[in-house]
Amino acid sequence: MTEKQDILKSLEKVIESRKNDAPDNSYVASLFSKGHKKITQKVGEEAVELCIAAAHNDKVEVVSESADLLFHMMILWSDMGLKPEDIFDELCRREGVSGIEEKKARGEFIDGL
């Protein structure tokens, strides 16, 4: 695995190591100290910022906001007792499955999509 491919594992370790730090010393710890609702709010904010950057076709901001969103999603996963592997397992399960068929199976199919 290359260094770039290891970044998610490294980031997961940093998040876990800072989870119980003093909130004044760590942004990650400060989010955990504010609780689940604040963490979910931050994920939503980052998702909106990513969408705005994409709507403006700003590739530099899309890269930056994508990194922010992924970082905050990983904090959310940790808060919920999930590991990146849980999400990777789900992506693997879906590989080769038509998105339309997968959504139909979950009752989420929207006409025209």
- Could you report the per-residue pLDDT of 57-100, keeping only the tens digit for each? 999 999 999 999 999 999 999 999 999 999 999 999 888 866 66
Share of the chain above pLDDT 90, in %: 75
The amino acid sitting at 93 is R
Mean pLDDT within 36-61: 98
Tokens, residue 21: 């730090």
Under the banding of pLDDT at 50, 70 and 90, the label for residue 2 is low
pTM score of the predicted model:
0.83
Task: State how far the alpha carbon of 102 is from the alpha carbons of 77, 82, 85, 88, 93, in Å.
Answer: 23, 22, 20, 16, 11
Give the CATH fold of the 7-82 domain: Helix Hairpins (1.10.287)
pLDDT of residue 111: 61
